[in-house]
Amino acid sequence: MIFEQLEKCDYEQLIFCQDKNSGLKAIIAIHDTTLGPALGGTRMWTYENEQQAIIDAIRLSRAMTYKAAASGLNLGGGKAVIIGDPNKDKSEELFRAFGRYIQGLNGRYITAEDVGTNEADMDLIHQETAFVTGVSPAFGSGGNPSPVTAYGVYRGMKAAALEAFGSDSLQGKTIAVQGVGNVAYHLCGYLHEEGANLIVTDINPAHVERAVEKYGAQAVGIDEIYSVNCDIFSPCALGGVINDETIPQLKAKVIAGSANNQLQENRHGDKIAELGLVYAPDYVINAGGLINVADELLGYNRERAMKKVETIYDTIHRVFKIAKRDQIPSYLAADRLAEERIASVKRSRNTFLLNERHLLNRGR
């Protein structure tokens, strides 16, 4: 059953990590390491059951392969999930135990923050392994990548606005933001600064209040967000929100947000394209955080990272061009961009290279 699932999208490895003392139950999924080590955040979430956690880990890890490839990074795709309540179940013991599992993979997987984890958690993992990014800036890192992800989403949203409205200005545009957590709070800052009108929702009332107070956003109920009158719908909470139930409710012309795996199924990407909606593919528009943490591997330079994040505007534009050229929905155009890069790197490695583990090295 599990191998069947892994084979479907050609996953490399699935690792189950258990530590009775700390209560750790984690899954690390490595999808593809053609381009380099698998880098992707660790999500901590109260999954309904183990199957849900496995599905989340593998779907998210595959998206990371595509995200890195489409962003021009030399990284593969991986992701981890910890089964637990981030408000109740965190401890030093748990994150250190998890860090030791990551260390055991010897660099095949590098972690960072995701929903439910933060910089302090990464610092604990860092006690046990160097294969972690997004740790405190005191360690020479870029810190929590969320504000940088937000900047990338802002840039990508402007490119999508250009496609839909003929201008990339967001001034006077009404933007409905679902989930105003780490990424979207900063995104709202950029949008407010440019003169956009914000409508927000969140299951956490404190997060809604923060956006209302700081950016004059209008708050709506969690189920209302799909049907509000707006120009842009920005999903910034969890995945699967573009589906049979929500598509008929949408009044927006553009979908552009930070959430991973926004389309419940690929056919929903086909449907929104048929309806003429402009969809900025999730893993292209939300690559800012990955670009930021990837820069840490070179010795972190904020200016260099932000310059690269700015190019998300051009990548989104390129995706729309491929979609038009090949007459396909934008989500497929993004896949094409990523897959072509992975295939071309594979081809470029056809020639033999002597490495330390090769037979020819024996006896040296």
Ligand X SMILES: CC(C)CC(=O)C(=O)O
Tell me: does residue 41 bind ligand X (CB under 6 A): yes
Check if 324 is active-site: no
Residue of 40, 84, 239, 269 interacting with ligand X (CB under 6 A): 40
Tell me: does residue 112 bind ligand X (CB under 6 A): yes
70-109: burial string, b at 16+ Cβ within 10 Å, e else = bbebebbbbbbbbbbebeebbeeebbbbbbebbeebeebb
For residues 179 and 29, give the distance between their C-alpha atoms in angstroms, rounded to a whole number. Answer: 26
Considering only the stretches 20-28, 200-208, 326-334, 340-348, report the one whose residues sit in contact with ligand NAI under the rule CB under 6 A: 200-208
**Is residue 269 marked as binding?**
no
Spacing of C-alpha 281 from chain mean position: 11
User: Residues in contact with ligand X, total (CB under 6 A)?
Assistant: 13
- We find the least distance from the C-beta atom of residue 63 to ligand X, in angstroms, to be 7
**Is residue 172 marked as binding?**
no
> What residues from 234 to 273 belong to the interface with ligand NAI (CB under 6 A)?
236-238, 258-260
Tell me: does residue 145 bind ligand X (CB under 6 A): yes
Residue 42 contacts residue 80 (beta carbons within 8 Å): yes
- We find the least distance from the C-beta atom of residue 75 to ligand NAI, in angstroms, to be 14
Residue of 54, 153, 272, 290 interacting with ligand X (CB under 6 A): 290
Tell me: does residue 114 bind ligand X (CB under 6 A): yes
* Residues 250-269: x where in contact with ligand X by CB under 6 A, - otherwise, as a string: ----------x---------
- We find the least distance from the C-beta atom of residue 293 to ligand X, in angstroms, to be 4
* Phi, psi (degrees; rounded to nearest 5) at 320: -65, -35
| Annotated catalytic residue within 25, 67, 79, 308 | 79
Residues at the binding site are: 179-184
Which residues define the annotated binding site for NAD(+)?
A: 179-184
Q: Which residues bind ligand NAI (CB under 6 A)?
A: 113-115, 145-146, 149, 178-184, 201-204, 207, 222, 236-238, 258-260, 286, 289
Residues within the interface to ligand X (CB under 6 A)? 40-41, 67, 112, 114, 134, 145, 149, 260, 286, 289-290, 293
- The set of catalytic residues is 79
